[in-house]
């Protein structure tokens, strides 16, 4: 059985009802904003941008590490170039470019 011994006055009951209505209206407004298409699209865009920023940050760190590793192989502790490593790599690169140039010449001819 329900307790019927409510000692509130009608004015207090009315004030409680008004307060609950205001709270309910605020909650409904908040739900309306959350399910609005613009809000959903904005949230999705923000999530994509965050994921892209995170991925780009990781890529930057990886590339930076790779560049540092390569630089360390071709320079000594003082930062001077190591010619004994640079010259062979440069010769190989020139040779590959020459072979590619000959290959494209033969295809055209």
Q: Is 24 part of a structural domain of the chain?
A: no
81 falls within a domain: yes
Decide if 99 is inside a domain.
yes
Residue 64 maps to a domain? yes
CA distance 23 to 19: 6
Domain membership of residue 94 (yes or no) is: yes
For residue 98, the enclosing domain spans: 35-107
Residue found under tokens 């071709």: 74
- Retrieve residue 94's tokens: 């020139």
For residue 79 the two structure tokens come to 């930062």
Tens of pLDDT, residue by residue, the chain (109 residues) = 555 677 899 999 999 999 999 999 999 999 999 999 999 999 999 999 999 999 999 999 999 999 999 999 999 888 899 999 999 999 999 999 999 998 887 777 5
Indicate the number of domains in the chain. Answer: 1
User: Can you give the pLDDT at residue 20?
Assistant: 97
Name residues whose C-beta falls within 8 Å of residue 82's C-beta, 6 or more positions apart in sequence: 73, 74, 75, 76
């Amino acid at each position: 059985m329900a307790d019927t011994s409510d000692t509130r006055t009608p004015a207090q009951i009315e004030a409680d009802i008004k307060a609950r209505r205001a709270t309910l209206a605020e909650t409904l407004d908040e739900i309306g904003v959350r399910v609005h298409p613009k809000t959903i699209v904005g949230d999705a865009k923000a999530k994509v941008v965050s994921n892209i920023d995170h991925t780009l940050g990781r890529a930057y760190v990886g590339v930076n590490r790779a560049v540092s590793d390569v630089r360390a192989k071709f320079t000594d502790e003082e930062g001077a170039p190591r010619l004994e490593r640079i010259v062979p790599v440069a010769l190989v690169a020139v040779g590959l470019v020459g072979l590619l140039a000959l290959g494209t010449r033969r295809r055209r001819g």
